[in-house]
Amino acid sequence: MRLEPFAVPVKLWAFCCVLIAVLLTRNGILTWTLTLFALAYTAMQRRWSIVLSYGSFYALLGCLLYAIRFHQLKMALFSEFHLILFWTLSPIAVVSWDLIKTPPGELSAFLSRMKTPTPVILGLLVIFRFFPTMKAEVAAVIQSMRNRGLTAPAFLLRRPLESLEFILVPLLLRCLQIADQLSVSAVARGAERPGTRGSYFGNTRLSGRDWAMISIWSAVTVIFLIVGDVRSWSN
C-alpha cells in the first residue's frame, strides 16, 4: 500500500466523522477505538511524528486512568475528569493535528474550488497556523524575559501585573506584525483577485485510495455510534 497523504476532502471528512462520533457518544471511554484508528490513519500518511508523540501521550493517559480507576491513584493537579476529557477528545486532536500539518496552499486551493469566500479561507488558514506560530513567539518572549532576569519566581510573585505586561505587550506587538506580514503575503499571492485559486500541489482529483478512506471513516463512525450509544440532548 502507498504511504502518502490523503487529499484534503478526506481529511475534512475524517474531522467531521470524529467530531460527530465524539459529540454524540455516551461512552467516552470507548473513544479509544477512534483514537487508535486515527493514529493508524496518520501512519498511513507517514506522519510518524504525530503517531509517536501522540501515541506516547495517549499511552501515558491510559496508564494514569488505569492507576486512578483500579489503584486509587490521587494526583495533585489533575483529576480523573481531566484525564477522561483528554482521553475523549483524543481522536479529534489526532485528526486535527493531521489537518494542521496539511500545506496551506493545498487547503486554500480546495476551499477555493468549493467557492468558499476568501475571508473564510484566510480565517481558517490563520486558525490552522495559529498554534505552531504562537508556540515559537511565546518561546521567544520568554527567552527575552529570561535574558533580562524577569522570569525569576520571586519577581513574578512580587510584581504579577508588571510581569503580565512584560509578556503581553511584546507578544501582542509581534501578533500585529505577523498579521501585517500575512496580509501582505496574501495580497501578493492574489487573495483579492476574484475567481478560483489554483495550487502547486499536483492532481486535485480524489484517487481510489481517497474514496476508500472516506468509506472506511463513514463505516467506522456508524459502527462506533451503534456500539457506543448515542447521547440524548433533551433536558
Partner 1 sequence: MNQQLKKWTIRDVITTVLLSMLLIAIQLIVNLICMANDFVSMVLSIGFTMFICAPIYFLMISRINKRFVTMIYMMILGIVFLLMGNWYLLPYFILTGLICEWILWKPGSTEDPKRLTIVWTLVSLLYNGVNLLPIWFFWDTYYAFAKSSGMQQSYIDAYVRYYTAPGWILFILIFTSAAGLLGSFMGRRLIRKHFKKAGVL
Tell me the residue type at 141: V
Please state, in angstroms and rounded to a whole number, the distance separating the CA atoms of residues 190 and 48.
Answer: 34
Please, which residue, 43 or 84, has the CB nearer to partner 1? 84
Please, which residue, 5 or 102, has the CB nearer to partner 1? 102
Is residue 156 a contact residue for partner 1 (CB under 8 A)? no
Is residue 14 a contact residue for partner 1 (CB under 8 A)? no
Please state, in angstroms and rounded to a whole number, the distance separating the CA atoms of residues 188 and 147.
Answer: 37
Is residue 126 a contact residue for partner 1 (CB under 8 A)? yes
Are 3 and 45 in contact by the 8 Å Cβ rule? The answer is yes
**Which DSSP helix (H) or strand (E) runs through 10?**
helix 8-24
Are 88 and 67 in contact by the 8 Å Cβ rule? The answer is no
Is residue 164 a contact residue for partner 1 (CB under 8 A)? yes
The piece of 18-26, 37-45, 102-110, 210-218 that touches partner 1 (CB under 8 A) is: 18-26
Q: Which of residues 182-201 bind partner 1 (CB under 8 A)?
A: 182-183, 186-187, 191-192
Rounded to a whole number of angstroms, the minimum distance from the CB of residue 193 to partner 1 is 11
E-only strand ranges, the chain = none
Site map (CB under 8 A) of partner 1, residues 42-81, x = contact: ----------------------------------xxxxxx
Instruction: Reduce the DSSP state of residue 25 to 3 states and report it.
Output: strand
Please state, in angstroms and rounded to a whole number, the distance separating the CA atoms of residues 148 and 219.
Answer: 56
Please, which residue, 192 or 226, has the CB nearer to partner 1? 192
Please state, in angstroms and rounded to a whole number, the distance separating the CA atoms of residues 207 and 37.
Answer: 21
Rounded to a whole number of angstroms, the minimum distance from the CB of residue 153 to partner 1 is 15
Are 109 and 200 in contact by the 8 Å Cβ rule? The answer is no
Rounded to a whole number of angstroms, the minimum distance from the CB of residue 215 to partner 1 is 25
Is residue 17 a contact residue for partner 1 (CB under 8 A)? no
The DSSP annotation for 128-182 comes to: HHHHHHHHHHHHHHHHHHHHTT---HHHHHH-HHHHHHHHHHHHHHHHHHHHHHH
The piece of 50-58, 105-113, 162-170, 202-210 that touches partner 1 (CB under 8 A) is: 162-170
Per CB under 8 A, residues contacting partner 1 are: 19, 22-23, 26-28, 76-85, 88-89, 92, 118-119, 122-123, 126-127, 130, 134, 161, 164-165, 168-169, 171-173, 175-176, 178-180, 182-183, 186-187, 191-192, 231-235
